[in-house]
Amino acid sequence: MTSYYDEIEIEDMDFDEDEQVYTYPCPCGDKFQIFLEELQDGEDIARCPSCSLIIRVIYDPDEFAGDDDETFQVEAPAVAVA
């Protein structure tokens, strides 16, 4: 069984659109990170690149399934053409 430093809601993490990565402050001074592609693949572990700590990211995988560019896509309302 894996031991997590903490479990963090995805809403509490920062998202960098340019890098497509979610981050969260680590006690060592660096940041835990998990890439959007990893979330789309069902991963839920964010790692700190500077130390051995890991966190579990709490999120709804269905909200990330099939998203290519944006985290949460909102469908445009249908427009009737006369």
Residue-range domains of the chain with CATH:
6-63 (3.10.660.10)
pLDDT band at 79 (very low <50, low <70, confident <90, very high): low
Report residue 29 as tokens: 């001074």
pLDDT of res. 82: 56
User: What residues have CB less than 8 Å from 37, skipping those under 6 apart?
Assistant: 20
CA distance 32 to 58: 14
Does residue 4 surpass a pLDDT of 70? yes
Report which secondary-structure segment, H or E, holds 31. Answer: strand 31-35
Report which secondary-structure segment, H or E, holds 38. Answer: helix 36-40
